[in-house]
């Protein structure tokens, strides 16, 4: 579903990604771990071109999104994204947050969008919050709404950018539970995370990034149980 | 002050009232046109398209960097006759005030748009919205709420600055006050009345802005 070849990304003089190669298959849950500043969030943001790609190829759903002529909005419709800081629209209710894109981009009727939204809110356990505003919700609730908002577009791939990093500890579980359910339903997911437990339990594959490279990748059991790379060992010894 | 000529003032009061209608009219039209101009120029200052950005920068730079009084004279006596062969004080007045307000409002829009967290735009774009759709439905509605106080200030400034249009004989409040002074040689009567009229208008406008802020300002 996603193929990345020799991806480079620089911010001015600062090269953040120094040649990343990676292949993500349908229904696969790939967790990206690594220290701060390793480039893992930037890598994720290149997958829907929220960051301009400096060089290399990123092919998402058979479209080369590095090509400036492709319709990036058409690709983004199929790729949901969940952010560290939720980024819900504060001037819209929970329901309006979720129905906005289906109505505006997919041209769904108001009734249909509403029906889907309520169904998704049920799925994330927030049906009773449909008419609340984001600032009336806890962080965990906001993040679950953000997941529902992304799912409302019926995406083929979901990207998660440290979805639990801005949450109070007691709210991490409720968000991870929703993500786990999603993974079990067969959603293709790329998850940048510091939740090693989640990566180990839910991930099909784990990528360890450091200094702009994927240093090591493998099945969670192998990467966590028997890391080959010195840096991976070093990192894991600090976080586990 | 003891011999304040009430009868002279009463005689001229209908003129003051005509002037008041004109002042309000000028202010309302200039605020509306200025907001439209300001929206485009403000977005122009933020666009990646270089020629549009330069154009917006030149426009804003010129109208913020020169006195409104000079702009009024330039537009009424040079620009309008140059383009249309003649010049009407009303049209020149509207054009000058709107262009001037537009430049200041452009900055209000730019600051308002830039004050919105960039995560909002990213979230909207990641859902497949185009830049324009995201601007219309996500960024601007939030930005406009934050812009209400400075926009209110700008409207009050505009109301007061419209007095400068007396210089091109546009028949607003100040024009009639000067007229009365010329005819009667009285000064306190016309100008104190004039000042109080502006004061009442600006206080009313401030109340309207306050009401709008309470209604739409909170998020």
DSSP A167-186: S-HHHHHHHHHHHHHHHHTT
**Stated length of chain A:** 240
Give, in degrees to the nearest 5, the angle at Cα A110 between A105 and A115: 105
Pick from B164, B162, B152, B166: nearest CA to B203? B152
CB-nearest to B128 from A50, A88, A101 is: A101
Rg (CA), chain B: 21
Chain A within 8 Å of B125 (Cβ-Cβ)? Answer: yes
Dist. CA B172–CA B147, nearest whole Å: 29
Strand-pair category, A188-192 with A157-161: parallel
Domain count, chain B: 1
| Inter-chain touch A89–B123, beta carbons under 8 Å | yes
Range of the domain at B114: 6-216
Chain B: residue whose CA lies nearest to A93: B219
Dist. CA B124–CA B137, nearest whole Å: 9
Which residues of chain B have a CB within 8 Å of the CB of A105? 127-129, 133
In a domain, B1, yes or no: no
What is the model's pLDDT at position B3?
Answer: 84
Which residues of chain B have a CB within 8 Å of the CB of A76? 125-128
In a domain, B33, yes or no: yes
In a domain, B135, yes or no: yes
| Inter-chain touch A85–B128, beta carbons under 8 Å | no
Q: B131-167 pLDDT, tens per residue? A: 999 999 999 999 999 999 999 999 999 999 999 999 9
Q: A51-93 pLDDT, tens per residue? A: 999 999 999 999 999 998 999 999 999 999 999 999 999 999 9
B96 and B139 Cβ atoms separated by less than 8 Å: no
What is the model's pLDDT at position B1?
Answer: 56
| Inter-chain touch B123–A83, beta carbons under 8 Å | yes
In a domain, B187, yes or no: yes
Read off the CATH number of the domain in which B201 is found.
Answer: 1.10.3720.10
In a domain, B17, yes or no: yes
Which residues of chain B have a CB within 8 Å of the CB of A101? 124, 127-129
For the entire predicted model, the pTM comes to 0.86
Pick from B42, B49, B12, B41: nearest CA to B181? B12
List per-residue pLDDT tens for chain B, 219 residues long.
Answer: 568 899 999 999 999 999 999 999 999 999 999 999 999 999 999 999 999 999 999 999 999 999 999 999 999 999 999 999 988 999 999 999 999 999 999 999 999 999 999 999 999 999 999 999 999 999 999 999 999 999 999 999 999 999 999 999 999 999 999 999 999 999 999 999 999 999 999 999 999 999 988 888 665
Segment (H or E) for A218: strand A213-218
């Amino acid at each position: 579903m996603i193929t990345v070849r020799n991806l480079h990304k620089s911010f001015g003089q600062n090269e953040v990604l120094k040649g990343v190669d990676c292949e993500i298959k349908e229904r696969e849950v790939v967790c990206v771990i690594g220290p701060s500043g390793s480039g893992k969030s930037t890598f994720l943001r290149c997958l829907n071109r929220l960051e301009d790609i400096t060089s290399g190829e990123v092919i998402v759903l058979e479209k080369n999104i590095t090509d400036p002529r492709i319709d990036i909005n058409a690709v983004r419709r199929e790729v949901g994204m969940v952010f560290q800081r939720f980024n819900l629209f504060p001037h819209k209710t929970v329901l309006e947050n979720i129905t906005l894109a289906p109505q505006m981009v997919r041209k769904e009727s108001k009734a249909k969008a509403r029906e889907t939204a309520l169904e998704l809110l049920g799925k994330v356990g927030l049906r009773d919050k449909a008419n609340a505003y984001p600032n009336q919700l806890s962080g965990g609730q906001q993040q679950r709404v953000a997941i529902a908002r992304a799912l409302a577009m019926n995406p083929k791939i979901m990207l998660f950018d440290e979805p639990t990093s801005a949450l109070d500890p007691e709210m991490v579980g409720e968000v991870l539970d929703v993500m786990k359910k999603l993974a079990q339903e067969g959603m293709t997911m790329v998850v940048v995370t510091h939740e090693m437990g989640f990566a180990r339990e839910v991930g099909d594959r784990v990528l360890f990034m450091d200094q702009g490279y994927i240093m090591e990748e493998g099945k969670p059991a192998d990467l966590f149980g028997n890391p080959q790379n010195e840096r991976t060992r070093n990192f894991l010894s600090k976080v586990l | 002050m003891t011999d304040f000529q009430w009868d002279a003032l009463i005689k001229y009061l209908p003129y003051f009232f005509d002037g008041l209608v004109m002042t309000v009219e000028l202010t309302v039209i200039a605020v509306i046109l200025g907001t439209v101009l300001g929206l485009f120029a403000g977005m122009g200052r933020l666009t990646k398209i270089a020629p549009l950005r330069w154009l917006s920068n030149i426009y804003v730079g010129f109208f913020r960097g020169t006195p409104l009084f000079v702009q009024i004279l330039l537009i009424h006596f040079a620009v309008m006759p140059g383009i249309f062969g003649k010049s009407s004080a009303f049209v020149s007045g509207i054009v000058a005030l709107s262009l001037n307000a537009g430049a200041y409002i452009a900055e209000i829009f730019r600051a308002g748009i830039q004050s919105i967290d960039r995560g909002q735009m990213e979230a909207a774009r990641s859902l497949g919205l185009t830049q324009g759709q995201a601007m219309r439905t996500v960024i601007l509605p939030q930005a406009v709420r934050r812009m209400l106080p400075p926009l209110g200030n700008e409207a009050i400034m505009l109301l007061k600055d419209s007095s400068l249009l007396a210089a091109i004989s546009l028949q607003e409040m100040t024009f009639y006050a000067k007229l009365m002074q010329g005819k009667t040689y009285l000064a306190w009567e016309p100008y104190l009345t004039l000042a109080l009229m502006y004061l009442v208008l600006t206080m009313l406008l401030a109340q309207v802005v306050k009401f709008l802020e309470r209604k739409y300002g909170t998020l």
